[in-house]
Chain A
Amino acid sequence: MTFDVGAVRADFPILSREINGKPLTYLDNGASAQKPRVVIDAMTRVYEQEYSNVHRGLHTLSNISTEKYEGVRGIVARFLGAPDEEEIVFTTGTTEAINMVASSWAAPRLEAGDEIVLSIMEHHANIVPWHFLRERQGVVIKWVETDANGDLDPEAVLAACGPRTKLIAVTQLSNVTGTVVDVKAICDGARDKGIPVLVDGSQGAVHMPVNVAEMGCDFYAITGHKLYGPSGSGAVYIRRERMEEMRPFMGGGDMIREVTRDAVTYNDPPMKFEAGTPGIVQTIGMGVALDYLMGLGMENIAAHERGLRDYARAKLDGLNWLQVQGQSAGKAAIFSFTMAGAHAHDLSTVLDKRGIAVRAGSHCAMPLMEHMGVTATARASFGMYNTEAEVDRLVDALEFCHELFG
Chain B
Amino acid sequence: MATDAFEEIAETFDFLDDWEDRYRHVIEMGKAMEPLDESLKIPSTKVEGCASQVWMVPEIEGEGPAARFDFKGDSDAMIVKGLIAILHALYSGLTLGEVAKVDAKAELARLKLEDNLSSQRSNGLQAMLGRIRAFSQQSA
Chain A residues within 8 Å of B, Cβ to Cβ: 341-343, 345-346, 348-350, 352-353, 360-361, 375-376, 400, 404-405
CA distance A392 to B20 in the complex (A): 20
Q: Which residue of A lies closest to B19 (CB)?
A: A353
Q: Which residue of B lies closest to A343 (CB)?
A: B77
Within 8 A of A (CB), among B16-60: 19-20, 23-24, 27, 51-53
Interface of A is mostly: helix
CA distance A30 to B120 in the complex (A): 19
Whether B79 lies near A345 (C-beta < 8 A) is yes
CA distance A361 to B51 in the complex (A): 8
CA distance A350 to B27 in the complex (A): 11
Q: Which residue of A lies closest to B18 (CB)?
A: A353
CA distance A53 to B117 in the complex (A): 43
Known: A353-B116, A361-B51. A345 touches B77 (CB 8 A): yes
CA distance A349 to B50 in the complex (A): 14
Most chain B CB within 10 A, of A346, A353, A376, is at: A346
CA distance A375 to B76 in the complex (A): 10
Chain B contributes a number of interface residues (CB within 8 A of A) equal to 19
CA distance A343 to B24 in the complex (A): 15
Whether A345 lies near B24 (C-beta < 8 A) is no
On chain A, the residues within 8 Å of B19 by CB distance are: 353
Q: Decide yes or no whether B112 CB sits under 8 A from chain A.
A: no
CA distance A361 to B118 in the complex (A): 14
Q: Decide yes or no whether B87 CB sits under 8 A from chain A.
A: no
On chain A, the residues within 8 Å of B79 by CB distance are: 343, 345-346, 349-350
Q: Decide yes or no whether B80 CB sits under 8 A from chain A.
A: yes
On chain B, the residues within 8 Å of A375 by CB distance are: 53, 76
Given contacts A343-B79, A345-B52, A375-B76, 14 further A-B contacts (CB under 8 A): A341-B78, A342-B78, A343-B77, A343-B78, A343-B80, A348-B118, A349-B79, A349-B121, A352-B118, A353-B20, A353-B116, A360-B51, A361-B51, A404-B23
CA distance A352 to B24 in the complex (A): 15
CA distance A293 to B96 in the complex (A): 62
A377–chain B nearest beta-carbon distance, Å = 13
